[in-house]
Structure 1
């Protein structure tokens, strides 16, 4: 990997064939050498199939994933049926202020860990090259979701073009040489899972299966942490064919080889037996072999250009909905890793800022198109059998952060994998509510989950710290996504048939879970604040308490939304009144002695004052009930909390803080955090190092570290929050515009109420606005104290000077 001692080298001297020293494209990542590490690879995906392309010369490797290939099998939610019986003694310990005992007893409310998102395998393309390699170049163009690799060997130019098509459910790689009969390569496959390879005269077929169990990577003492059984686990197939012009195709052992061709196209089809969260994939699974074979057969009837044309027709209408310009840039044309280093040292690169935002949108389109299978901690790109945190759905922030910009950045359809997943989670969550929390109404979900919709608290039945294992409010958080989807789409049928029952089930759990404190106020007990811990006045460091601010903030937000939903649908008046009464009785927010918003029931310090989580600020963002205008004292307390925490944190946390500062209408601080999110981070593999903070890897993937995709999505969402907000009943234009973005334009941002907004600004002042009403209605636009009321019919558009 390139090491630069001085990132301010003479950039003007760096010239590549076909490249100029003009400013960077806002839609391309490019490099002048192959990837060595995963964090340098270029990621492609169709929402189910993921590919990470290294672009090597003698050997190109492509990591393959399928969103539905996980370890495990359907979960038994009734894994700890008597856990709830421990609740009385936990609550008694807390009422007696014995927090150490509360921590110890809280471990009795724990179950199993999640399963892991699995790597399918690696495709190898090996080339017969003799001679010096020159003019190397590889790129990912996110405007067309296409990757390319080009180079020369002995005067012959070789090129590869890679796409992963949603319409054809296929990966296609086109290989060419500009000299006749110069193309010589072989294709083979390896996997960390169990598999068999069958090579025929024209196809390479791999069939295998995932483990039925993978231990969490924090479980150090588990014997046989990865367990296979040929009769258990999800099946997978990876079938490959090659079409070639000229030359000869031969089968050699476990590979296919092409010799003397002018060009060739490699087709890769993958499929799994996953057939739903509650179906045994070995006994009740889909026919992965038939599906993979059919996809390959259909794709082979088309040439590369036909597949590419369908791919572009599918992808580009989604991507092109939003366009962003931040004005002129003088940044030179550099490889993306050098560009990141230059930017982090303070240089201007407005097109890099645009690229990072649009890259977030690209990643969501590429990783979130499978019903009830959301993007994981790593999207759909994971090379490890025991990945960090199981590459699962971590629901105390991370999976939610993945979807913050789905609605605002005009990608509502790609929100659906998460929204449909919530229904699965509610099924197991009914059992979790009863057996872990003694609540017979509604449903609950906890810290983490997986494709099997596991909803129980984790910790391996008492071995986990309550600091991270015992939190039980993810269902409450997740249902807020359902209401947000309705607010942006105005889809009343979705609200009635899909969202409302799930929202109500979560609210029923919360009503029955809360108890009264000594003052008669409703609180949660036991309570934790995600992954954080407190220090009592006498020095005890613990995690289990009662009345956690984060719990109550999420309950408040979900109750407020539930009340509005019942009004929209004109149903459940009695239940609505019950929610309103509960809201009035809930323990209120408290402002601490430092002027901060208290995270804990008592005015205690955090064990780690700079902790990466800021869950108790939920009401400010992603919640909507704390704002500088409506609750100025609470907003000021949120500001003080962020000041105490400081700006240095992990990647996803920086992404969240961008949004929080934008909601505080401090565009310059939000922008500072955005720049820091783009701090260059060296590839780190499986290493977790909180001390060095987060940032961005060479391929623009978020560095937690290690890689977590939530920072990409959170950062992209933050850009929208700086430019437009609509959570206070109006559409607020340029509410947190940073000084650095004094000139610009944006097209296609979405606002609550079903409106789409485009605008231009100059010298930091709004100039022009265009509003499209998707479903018709009335709204008020606000900017710098000026208001304009707009009322439009469905599909009507209006443009005006501000």
Structure 2
């Protein structure tokens, strides 16, 4: 039983014009978590922890970003698949979509592997009785979680963080009286493991399955272990105590009557790269775990925390958002979310949600070559939803939409470096599945092993979700974007351009002529959506899907620009220019919508969650209301037909799409709906048709939990307040009426600029532009535009009329 003194929870009202500060960055609750979707998540970009905050027993899910099922993939798994491409094309040419659909199943391979849970740490206190004044919180300004409560006249306090510099999780336990702390540390895992007690350390060593079948796919033996195969892992635990005694057995650490205790958790795996067998060629996970533990436990708690704060805050504090006005209710975060869902205003919650997205990216994406997956790094399930993999037809990319604009370019690196791995396997995929001997391709799903083939279990999957092959084409657009923000020519020349060119080479050879002489893809699908032909056939396989061609256009344009920037590859550049002019153009359907299909066909599901054919509007740069008003109108009509009721990640995408249409009020409407309270259920329910929102701990609900909605929603906030391309920066392009006054500081624009923008009563008030590279700056606000030269490292201040005041 938990008793909370409501007197400790006042309602704080802020009057008009009063701004929220960075100190409002706390999620808090008046009871422990019951479900994963209520836990408070911590991470250092590799190691993750999900804290329940229990009273008789604390439970913490532990994860390591590099702990997956499987082993290096053989990309040549279906060497004859490409032989079926000509007959699929013939069927499509004959408009025999039924036959093309069935033949397309032959262009399939194995499923991706799954992100694995490392295990669960328990701290058993054996506390009995009713607790008073319970509070569980996560301070995202510090990346520190805390629990406190009063029990039997003693105040118990816990503090948790996961340190990137020291590569350990640290838990500090204390009581208000001497000798108040007695507890046992225990560990359990769904993986295979053994534990031993040695020289004051509880050592857990184990291994992951060599195979896990996706949770949505039937299999009598879905989780397969072999002690000679699979990634190895270690989790080492140690307690440093003040007062009392500590005893280590082969299964527990027993602490008796301590005044204070610090629990250290050190995790490591044998993962040694996507192309190395983790059992035979892995790194020494035991030695790594021991070294991390020994180094961290030799430091004081104060030193550990100070170094953690210095590291984390060097990223988090780069950006502040203040939305003025309204009230901040002194309620637990889940109650605030419920109140907000019922229609109440809570600008501080909106600010918190935006910064929480940045917090999650810092906490889940700092491991080179290992991007944040569908759940970031937080997963308790042996068969997680959708394998918790890298879903390349939107979700993996959406994870990184806010990286550059939200001033977290370092967090983009895990995804950018992963693309290089993907291209290695993707070169084989291009040849064996698609008969393309130049460049590389990646498809719908991938994993830590950089799997690039189309999935479907060798012909058993439906093409609607199994046979899409534009994953690499989409992914490389992130490389060019990173260059636009950072100006890193070495990155562009030595790493990005070869990968971009490889994706373009594949597309150039994959395109074929239609009967009108246009270039189209064939076969083609539009991610996870189904058309209806005039004779009533429902299918996914066709030629010239709009999304394919939009992504290819974006890829070709970027490769051309990169080639010009580097002064290289003129002949290849010219071939791309010629091809772009021959790509089948965008078409507007009879309903005024942007056609998703080559023909003006009906959708089997008009309110489908995917809107891949709008890629050219966002995240692409091909469509906007000023330069292409007819296409922008067609995108708007498409979004109106799609509606607003959709999954969490899809709401995140639609916020950005409406912002790109400069409709701030519609974008804000979806932002509010993204913050719809969704009750936790332990991932028992999947909802494809809508119902997305936010769980009590502010994690995105598909449902179940997918982190991309958090990232997409946070990116959408910036997109409402600032948009940039290679030509100009637009200020407050989609400012909603609900945010009449406020400021955002530290966000980044393409061209190498860092901006701070203030607005009052719905109108721009002032702007500061810091130039990182000395490029010319072009600003646009409503009908006003200014261009001015800048010097590297200098800041420029402008007023509401875009008049330079000083520099």
Normalising by the residue count of structure 2, what TM-score does the alignment of the two structures yield? 0.97
**Corresponding residue to 2:182 among 181, 184, 195:** 184
Structure-1 residue corresponding to 2:677:
680
Structure-1 residue corresponding to 2:737:
739
Q: CA deviation at 1:691?
A: 3.9
Matches within 5 A, 1:637-716: 637-686=634-683, 687-716=685-714
The 8 Å contact of residues 14 and 334 in structure 1, kept in 2 or not, is answered as no
Structure-2 residue corresponding to 1:245:
242
Q: C-alpha separation between the residues in 2 aligned to 1:347 and 1:573?
A: 58
Q: 1:513 and 2:530 equivalent?
A: no
Structure-1 residue corresponding to 2:799:
801
Specify whether residues 457 and 557 from structure 1 end up closer, same or farther in structure 2 by C-alpha distance, changes over 3 A only: same
Q: 1:401 and 2:392 equivalent?
A: no
Q: C-alpha separation between the residues in 2 aligned to 1:16 and 1:730?
A: 52
**Corresponding residue to 2:6 among 9, 12, 15:** 15
The 8 Å contact of residues 16 and 135 in structure 1, kept in 2 or not, is answered as no
Q: CA deviation at 1:452?
A: 0.2
The 8 Å contact of residues 157 and 177 in structure 1, kept in 2 or not, is answered as yes
Matches within 5 A, 1:326-475: 326-475=323-472
| RMSD over aligned Cα atoms | 1.3
Q: CA deviation at 1:209?
A: 0.2
Q: C-alpha separation between the residues in 2 aligned to 1:773 and 1:691?
A: 45
The 8 Å contact of residues 44 and 167 in structure 2, kept in 1 or not, is answered as yes
Q: 1:223 and 2:220 equivalent?
A: yes
Q: 1:103 and 2:104 equivalent?
A: no
Structure-2 residue corresponding to 1:142:
140
Q: C-alpha separation between the residues in 2 aligned to 1:188 and 1:563?
A: 57
Q: 1:115 and 2:113 equivalent?
A: yes
Q: Deviations along 1:109-130, whole A, 9 cap, x unmatched? A: 0000000000000000010323
Q: CA deviation at 1:20?
A: 6.0
Secondary structure at the counterpart of residue 596 of structure 1? coil
Q: C-alpha separation between the residues in 2 aligned to 1:19 and 1:170?
A: 36
Q: 1:291 and 2:274 equivalent?
A: no
Q: C-alpha separation between the residues in 1 aligned to 2:404 and 2:287?
A: 36
Structure-2 residue corresponding to 1:154:
152
Secondary structure at the counterpart of residue 405 of structure 1? coil
Structure-1 residue corresponding to 2:776:
778
Secondary structure at the counterpart of residue 747 of structure 1? strand
The 8 Å contact of residues 201 and 250 in structure 1, kept in 2 or not, is answered as no
Matches within 5 A, 1:264-279: 264-279=261-276
Structure-1 residue corresponding to 2:34:
36
Q: C-alpha separation between the residues in 2 aligned to 1:508 and 1:201?
A: 58
Q: CA deviation at 1:684?
A: 2.8
**Corresponding residue to 2:525 among 524, 528, 532:** 528
**Corresponding residue to 1:164 among 162, 165, 170:** 162
Structure-2 residue corresponding to 1:205:
203
Structure-2 residue corresponding to 1:549:
546
Q: CA deviation at 1:262?
A: 0.7
Structure-1 residue corresponding to 2:72:
74
Secondary structure at the counterpart of residue 381 of structure 1? coil
Q: C-alpha separation between the residues in 1 aligned to 2:222 and 2:425?
A: 25
Structure-2 residue corresponding to 1:50:
48
Q: C-alpha separation between the residues in 1 aligned to 2:467 and 2:273?
A: 27
Q: Deviations along 1:256-289, whole A, 9 cap, x unmatched? A: 1111111100000000000000000000000000
The 8 Å contact of residues 464 and 541 in structure 2, kept in 1 or not, is answered as yes
The 8 Å contact of residues 202 and 250 in structure 2, kept in 1 or not, is answered as no
Q: 1:303 and 2:294 equivalent?
A: no
Q: CA deviation at 1:201?
A: 5.3
The 8 Å contact of residues 15 and 21 in structure 1, kept in 2 or not, is answered as no
Q: C-alpha separation between the residues in 1 aligned to 2:8 and 2:260?
A: 22
Bigger drift between 35-44 and 773-782 goes to 773-782
Q: C-alpha separation between the residues in 2 aligned to 1:592 and 1:787?
A: 35
Q: C-alpha separation between the residues in 1 aligned to 2:372 and 2:416?
A: 12
Q: CA deviation at 1:538?
A: 1.1
The 8 Å contact of residues 624 and 728 in structure 1, kept in 2 or not, is answered as no
The 8 Å contact of residues 684 and 705 in structure 1, kept in 2 or not, is answered as no
Secondary structure at the counterpart of residue 662 of structure 2? coil
Q: CA deviation at 1:331?
A: 3.0
Secondary structure at the counterpart of residue 738 of structure 2? helix
Q: CA deviation at 1:625?
A: 0.8
Q: 1:129 and 2:120 equivalent?
A: no
Q: CA deviation at 1:792?
A: 1.4
Q: C-alpha separation between the residues in 1 aligned to 2:13 and 2:253?
A: 42
The 8 Å contact of residues 188 and 254 in structure 1, kept in 2 or not, is answered as yes
Q: CA deviation at 1:14?
A: 7.6
Q: C-alpha separation between the residues in 1 aligned to 2:104 and 2:700?
A: 34
Q: Deviations along 1:546-570, whole A, 9 cap, x unmatched? A: 0000000000011111111111111
Q: C-alpha separation between the residues in 1 aligned to 2:339 and 2:327?
A: 13
Unaligned runs of 5+ in 2: 15-19, 801-807
Q: 1:578 and 2:561 equivalent?
A: no
The 8 Å contact of residues 11 and 328 in structure 2, kept in 1 or not, is answered as no
Bigger drift between 287-296 and 330-339 goes to 330-339
Q: C-alpha separation between the residues in 2 aligned to 1:713 and 1:410?
A: 13
Bigger drift between 15-24 and 534-543 goes to 15-24
Q: C-alpha separation between the residues in 1 aligned to 2:438 and 2:349?
A: 49
Bigger drift between 497-506 and 323-332 goes to 323-332
Q: Deviations along 1:61-81, whole A, 9 cap, x unmatched? A: 000000000000000000000
Secondary structure at the counterpart of residue 690 of structure 1? coil
Secondary structure at the counterpart of residue 198 of structure 1? strand
Structure-1 residue corresponding to 2:87:
89
Structure-1 residue corresponding to 2:612:
615
**Corresponding residue to 2:255 among 254, 258, 264:** 258
Secondary structure at the counterpart of residue 167 of structure 1? coil
Q: C-alpha separation between the residues in 2 aligned to 1:100 and 1:206?
A: 54
Structure-2 residue corresponding to 1:791:
789
Unaligned runs of 5+ in 1: 3-12
The 8 Å contact of residues 756 and 773 in structure 1, kept in 2 or not, is answered as yes
Q: How many residues align?
A: 791
